[in-house]
Amino acid sequence: MSRFQPPYPGYDVLAKWDTPSWNDPTRRVVAERLTRVPERRFFDPHEWATLHAVCDRLIPQPDRLEPVPIAPFIDDKLHRHQSDGWREESMPRMEDAWRRFLKGIDEAAQARYGRPFVDLGPEWRDLVLRAVQKREAEGGAWGDMDQKTFFEKSLLREAAGIYYAHPAAWSEIGFGGPASPRGYVRLVADRRDPWEAPLEREDEA
């Protein structure tokens, strides 16, 4: 069991569902976030399993009965060729970069521990990912792709962005969700609107 204690115990952003905070368009968007989990269409089964294993280490969710899905939305974005509108000059095409990364961490896992990434324990998985972050991962799959740039500009950015777009993560950080139609009024530090989450943890008061 994780020792993590959220600073907003008992807060559930979905309690706003039938309040003036959200209108019908907002409710439709939130409902889609909760119910529409894309199926695998871009990665092959091994790449898919490897990506899930990576996401499980980047954002562990041991206390969630229903973890926030991350890998399916990465797969969906790549399948639809949804670009961010920019990329680092040194990086290959988005689709190629993700395939190189997944093959590269498998090669690094094999070089270090003699087995694929998905067959490693949590500690070994973390060591392989740290090697990528430090540009130290073995394997020829990387080619001229910079490991650290992919790790920080693509992998972390996508995983964190998908996680914090989910209502479960909003509740965890006390975020009130979309601002339509009510909006937010008190936008300065240390002030909150009465419809935002109260901070209940004593050491953060």
Tell me, yes or no, whether 34 lies in a domain.
Answer: yes
Give the chain's domain count. 1
Condensed to tens digits (0 to 9), the pLDDT of residues 13-43 reads: 999 999 989 999 999 999 999 999 999 999 9
Tell me, yes or no, whether 187 lies in a domain.
Answer: yes
Tell me, yes or no, whether 191 lies in a domain.
Answer: yes
Tell me, yes or no, whether 141 lies in a domain.
Answer: yes
Tell me, yes or no, whether 55 lies in a domain.
Answer: yes
> How does residue 198 score in pLDDT terms, banded at 50, 70 and 90?
confident
Tell me, yes or no, whether 146 lies in a domain.
Answer: yes
Where in the sequence is the domain holding 119, given as residue range(s)? Answer: 13-204
- What residues have CB less than 8 Å from 59, skipping those under 6 apart? 68, 70, 159, 160, 163
The predicted model gives 186-199 an average pLDDT of: 81
Helix (H), strand (E), coil (C) string for the chain: CCCCCCCCCCCCHHHHCCCCCECHHHHHHHHHHHHCCCCCCCCCHHHHHHHHHHHHHHCCCCCCCCCCCCHHHHHHHHHCCCCCCCCCCCCCCHHHHHHHHHHHHHHHHHHHHCCCHHHCCHHHHHHHHHHHHCCCCCCCCCCCCCHHHHHHHHHHHHHHHHHCCCHHHHHHHCCCCCCCECCCCCCCCCCCCCCCCCCCCHHHC
Distance of alpha carbon 19 from alpha carbon 184, whole angstroms: 15
Task: State yes or no: pLDDT of 5 exceeds 80.
Answer: no
Task: State yes or no: pLDDT of 195 exceeds 50.
Answer: yes
Task: State yes or no: pLDDT of 127 exceeds 70.
Answer: yes
Task: State yes or no: pLDDT of 205 exceeds 70.
Answer: no
Alpha-carbon dihedral sign for residues 176, 180, 186, 188: positive
Tell me, yes or no, whether 67 lies in a domain.
Answer: yes
Tell me, yes or no, whether 23 lies in a domain.
Answer: yes
Condensed to tens digits (0 to 9), the pLDDT of residues 44-89 reads: 999 999 999 999 999 999 888 899 999 999 999 999 999 888 888 8
The predicted model gives 171-182 an average pLDDT of: 88
